[in-house]
Each structure stands twice: as C-alpha cells, then as structure tokens.
Structure 1
Amino acid sequence: MIFSLILNTAAQDTFGAELDKNEEYQQRMSLYKKVETVTNIPWYVLAAVDQYERNVRHSRKDIPKADGLIEIYVKPEVWAGPLNPNLNDNNPLSIGLFGGIGVDGNGDGLANQKDDEDILFTFANYLMSYGADVDNIKIGLWDFYQRDKTVGIIMGHMKLYKNYDRLNLDDHAFPVPLRSNFSYKNTWGDARGWGGRRIHEGTDIFASYGVPVRSTCYGVIEMKGWNRFGGWRVGIRDLDNMYHYFAHLNGFADGLQAGQIVEPGQIIGSVGSSGYGPPGTAGKFPPHLHYGLYKDNGRTEWSFDSYPHLKSWERADRQKNRKK
C-alpha cells in the first residue's frame, strides 16, 4: 500500500513537471511570435538565441540568473550604454543618448533589463539593425558574441526550431538498439595511453560489428569523418549546447552529412573498431561504440560523465518498449 502510494505520488510529480514544462514552452512561444510580428525577426531566431543563452546561464556562475522566462543576457553597459553613469538606467531616451541598445518592448515607457518583452524586443531590434535575412543575422550575432562557435551553435538551434516548428524537442534515445547484445560500465576518467597519457572522455558500449548506432537526441551533425583517436566518428550538437560524440564506427548511414538534422533513434552508423591511426585503421581493439558528451558554456567546452545519461535513456527506452 505504501509502495503504491509512493509510485502514484512520483507519477503525479512527473506529470506535473511535464505540464509545467509544456506551459513554459507555450508562454515562451507566445513571446517569440509576438516580437516576430513587430520586428519581422523570425520566431525561431529569437528562440535559438534564448535557448543558447539559457544553457550558458545555467552552466556559469559569472552571469546572473534570469528573472523571467526569457534568458537572453545583455550586459548592463551594452543595455544602458558604455558611458552611461547609471548602468541600471531604464529610460529609453537617456539609454539612446549614451548609445545603449535597451528599448521599450511592452509600451510601458520603460526599457527594463528584467522584463521579458523588453529583453526580447531589444535583441530583435538589435538584429533588425543588421537585417532580417540569414546572412545579416549571422553578422549581427557575430558582432554581439565575437565568437564563431557561438554563432554556429545558435544557427544549428535555428535550423532545428524552423524544421520542427515547436520548442519541445527534449526526447532522447539509447545509442544502440536494446534488442542487440551490448554491455557497458562507467569508464569515464579512466587512463588511456595511446597517443600520450590522457583520460577517457566517454563511455564504451561493447557490441558486435555492424550493430546500428543511433542518434541520442534532436540535433545537427557538426562533424563527420576520420579522427586518429576516434576513427570514423560523428559529432551531433543538441539544443542543450551539448556535443554528442560517437566514435570507432564501422561506417556511416547512407547519405549522412555535416549540417544534417537528426532525431532520437535515427541510425547514423554502425559499431566498429576504427581508430588509433591513419584513415582506415581498424581492429586494434574489440568492436565498441565510444560515446562522449561535451558541454559548451559560451567560453569553452569540456567533457563530462555520459554514463548517468546513458542509464537514464536505456531505462526510458525499456519503459517505452513495455508500453507497446
């Protein structure tokens, strides 16, 4: 009886969390569409920037937490103007005089750095000064962030949102079919010697040659080809600014290309033993998939333990199979 109550409570909590997330998505989409109507900057551009910034804010401590739904961060000196003596200025007139970009987005006469509509309209207005086409948006993004990788990640987010026309792209999948014979344990951080002393930045999933390898997420292929450590490998960037790294492949799925959109469960290649040498080297170790996760925080990218995510996605896939 107690166990049943615990399960029911947990199920209700999960359902409540899903409702909260869906409601947040609806509110954010409403804001994006509202600003799109006024500025002609496509909603998926604003959503991509906001999503990129959301992940950056949540992974760094030097940026204040957002006060509302929109998490685009504009530095106070950029918002109010570099020579403005009041970096908390919310008067659109004085902000303009000092060369700030902050504007009033909701018609209340204030350019509030903590108001969702003002933040979103300010960034859209900034991009609009460059132009609403893709090439000019890229120039505006580069001028704002001064970082090629950031622009590339945001462009990938844009591609996903435009393609699916929705925000809820959170699903994941285990990288090999559950019906296949596979095994894995937590090997992140283990010592590696080939090519110099280094740590193992991933989890090895051992399986037979040719077992399908699947995308773990909605994402865009950033890299495809040969790496002397990883052999034939694929790198996918998701909407959490995370890079999913699949290495030691036997080959790629037909037609797979850099820049392509992929979905959870989509086959991208097969298990092999390639790597540790020039292109074509294989067989130096048992066949397995090396799967790694890397996070970008707007300044650098680092690897972290992928094992807990794999266990979670494996459990979720098993639950889905039981429901079929």
Structure 2
Amino acid sequence: MLITPVQAEEPNNDQQHYHKRMKLFQKTEAVTSIPWYYYAAIDQYERNLRFVRDDLPKPNHNISIYIPEEKWSGLLNPNKQDTNPYSIAAFHGIGTDGNGDGKASRTNNEDILAAIGNYLLTYGTDHDSIKIALWRYYGRDKTVSMIIGNARMYKAYKKLDLQKKEFPLPTNYNYTYKSTWGAARGWGGRRIHEGTDIFADYGVPVRSTSYGIIEMKGWNRYGGWRIGIRDINNTYHYYAHLNGFAKGLKLGQTVEPGMLIGGVGSTGYGPPGTSGKFPPHLHFGMYKDNGRTEWSFDPYPHLKVWERQSKRAGS
C-alpha cells in the first residue's frame, strides 16, 4: 500500500490549535485526575488513523477521538443518535455531557473527552489500570503500546507539537542516495527493498529523524545492527546496517530529532557481527500503522524534505 508524504504525518503545526487542545486535555485532567498526556496520546493515535483510513472521517483541528455510535449510545439503544445522557446511561453507552449543556454529543470536544475520562476511571487512574482500560477498549496490544509511547513522549517533552524532523545524517558530511524503495532484493529470498540506502563513510553519525520511542534495538541477519523508533504519527523509522549504537540507548527510551543513535556501517547478511559484505550505508525505512496492520512506504520524498530543512538550519 502506497502512502503520500502528506498522509504520513500531521501537516498542521498551527500553535493556536495545539494550545486549544492542550487546554481541553488539562481541563479533563482537573476533573478526572488522569494526567493530560494520556488524553493527548489517545487523541493523537486516533488522529493518525483518520489520515490513513477511508472508513473514518478525516481529522480537523478539534479532538479526533472517534467513538462509534453503538459504543456512544449503547449497543442495545434503538436510538443510535441519542444525545440524552440519561437514556444513554440506561443502555450502558459511554456518551456523556462534558460541557454542561444537557446533551451528550459525539462531535463535542468536551463531551468526547469526558466520555473517555469516565471510561478510564472505571478501571482506575494509575498507569497499569489505564493500560488495561486501553486494551479493553481497543483489543490490540500494539495499539496500547503506541498510545502509551505517545503519552511518554508528551510527558517527557511537555508539549503537543512533536512534528519536527531532521535528516538522518549531518548534512555537512559526504553522502549520496537515490530512490530505491520497491527494488528487487535477492538476499533472504524474493522480496522488495523497503527503504532508501544512504551511502556514506564508516562511522558517519546517524541521528534520530524525529521525536519517538525506541521500540527495537539489536541484531538482524539482514539488517545487522539496527534500531527502530516509533514517532508521534504512528510511523516507525527503521535504521539498519549500523556499525554500532550510541552509548546508553535503551528500549523504551524517548529520543528527539538530531539525537545521535549510531553510526553508518556495513553490518548484516549473516550471524551477529558479520560486516563488510557491501559498501557502508544507512538503510532507512518507514512503516505506517493504521490500527489494523502496518506497511512499508517510500521514505525518499520525506528524506528530501528533511534534507532541505536540515541544510537551512545548518544541521
């Protein structure tokens, strides 16, 4: 499945919209005692789904949590558009009145957050209870992991705008690359090349392209020493053939754009420690999750944009 650069990440960086959403999250925190970053994490996860799924309405600048009619009004409620908080409660729906207007509207920001907050409260306010609540709501381990990762990023950086990106190599080094996504690969059976190869000298620094959470770190017989980082847009950034990792990097750690994560190498195509079977380069891949499955898409257009931005910034 192909994906365009616009679809791959949230394009809007208007600080007024971030500020408005933050106020809503903090207001809900004050009512429920559940930290704001959990609400922000759920909202961002679902915002990402709306960008890449045709069965969901496209996101706008408001809260993007989508609660299906039957979950909002109650599975057995004959009125799927019910906005009466009392009849909704009678049918065990989660819809509620969060802004005090006497209605429980699926399109009202405060009502949506209040409904999610009340749902989480039925399980508890501590981290483990929230994880259980999320699993019961979504029924998917990977979804829970991504939402918790979002929450950790928001908690660490204390802001909603985590869209900044950097080119994976410092732009003052010599390197070269072209679009190679989809090309045939022979090693390991018939498969396509799921990334872009950036050729550079051994040891050239490799940097995180985004804010993110380290989901994977270690050896792969194809990718050698490699690391995987999940960003705030449900996008997985994959760095392979490294000559090693930056000191102190750990699974679950938060990273930010430009942070050193390793160096260019030629590891892979064999057991742990195999190196030198091809010229040194960074294999950089990107994968998108839509709440059901994950697929590779071409990182080349993104790399070109990030390269221009990094050069302008002198990084």
TM-score above 0.5, yes or no: yes
| Partner residue, 2:163 | 170
* Cα contact 1:32–1:47 (8 A) shared by 2: yes
1:224-276 CA distance string (max 9 Å, x none): 00111111000000001100000000000001111111111110000011111
Number of the residue aligned with 2:7? none
The equivalent residue for 1:314 is 307
Asked which structure has the greater CA Rg, the reply is 1
State the AA in 2 paired with 1:212: P
Confirm whether residue 91 of structure 1 aligns to residue 84 of structure 2.
yes
1:73 Cα shift? 1.1
Q: Taking structure 1 as reference, are residues 67 and 165 closer, same or farther at Cα in structure 2, changes over 3 Å only?
A: closer
2:14 match: secondary structure: helix
Which deviations, in whole Å up to 9, do the C-alpha atoms of 1:48-78 show, x marking residues without a partner? 0000000001110112235760001111111
Q: Which structure features the higher share of helix residues?
A: 1
Equivalences for 1:32-51 in 2 at 5 Å?
Answer: 32-51=25-44
Residue in 1 aligned with 2:152?
A: 159
The 1:246/1:136 distance shift into structure 2, 3 A limit, reads: same
The reply to whether residue 285 of structure 1 matches residue 278 of structure 2 is: yes
- 1:194 lines up with 2:197 in the alignment: no
Q: C-alpha distance in 1, partners of 2:257/2:118?
A: 35
In structure 1, distance between residues paired with 2:224 and 2:61: 44
1:147 aligned to 2:145?
no
> What secondary structure, in the 3-state scheme, does the structure 2 residue paired with 1:138 have?
helix
Give me the whole-angstrom Cα distance separating, in 2, the residues matched to 1:318 and 1:25.
27
* Residue in 2 that maps onto 1:268: 261
Correspondence 1:296 to 2:296:
no
What is the CA–CA distance in structure 2 between the aligned matches of 1:98 and 1:278, rounded to whole Å?
58
Q: Is the 8 A contact 2:46 2:65 kept in 1?
A: yes
Change in CA separation of 1:184 and 1:68 when aligned onto 2, cut-off 3 Å: closer
Structure 2 residue 49 is the aligned partner of structure 1 residue 61: no
Q: In the alignment, residue 252 of structure 2 is paired with which amino acid? A: G
Which position in structure 1 is the counterpart of 2:202? 209
| CA positional deviation for 1:178 | 1.1
| Alignment-derived partner of residue 8 in structure 1 | none
Name which of 238, 250, 254 aligns with 1:245. 238
- Using the alignment, how far apart are the partners of 2:301 and 2:92 within structure 1? 47
Residue 281 of structure 1 aligns to a residue whose secondary structure is coil
* Structure of greater relative contact order (alpha carbons < 8 Å, 6+ residues apart): 2
Q: Is the 8 A contact 1:68 1:116 kept in 2?
A: no
Aligned residues: 305
**What CA distance in whole angstroms lies between the structure 1 residues aligned with 2:169 and 2:75?**
52
User: For 1:10-35, what per-residue CA distance to the aligned partner results, in whole angstroms no more than 9, with x for missing partners?
Assistant: xxxxxxx97x7100000000100111
C-alpha contact 1:274 1:281 (8 A) present in aligned 2: yes
Task: Determine if contact 2:52/2:290 at 8 Å carries over to the other structure.
Answer: yes
Cα shift readout 1:121-164 (whole Å, capped 9, x = no counterpart): 10011001111110000000000000000000001100010011
Please give the alpha-carbon distance, in whole angstroms, between the structure 2 residues aligned to 1:67 and 1:118: 17
Say which of 109, 127, 145 aligns to 1:134. Answer: 127
- RMSD of aligned Cα (Å): 1.3
Question: 1:284, 1:43 → 2: CA distance?
Answer: 49
Match of 2:220 among 218, 224, 227: 227
Quick one: which amino acid aligns to residue 82 of structure 2?
Answer: D
Deviations 1:82-140 (A, max 9, x none): 10111111111111111101110000111101111100110011001111110000000
The alignment partner of 1:293 has SS state of strand
What amino acid is the match of 1:169?
Answer: L
Residues of 1 paired with 2:292 and 2:266: CA distance?
33
TM-score using structure 2 length: 0.95
Measured in 1, the distance between the counterparts of 2:58 and 2:167 equals 32
- Please identify, of 270-279 and 61-70, the stretch whose mean Cα deviation from structure 2 is larger: 61-70
**Aligned position for 1:14:** none
Counterparts in 2 of 1:116-131, with a 5 A limit? 116-131=109-124
Structure 2: tracts of 5 or more residues without a match: 1-10
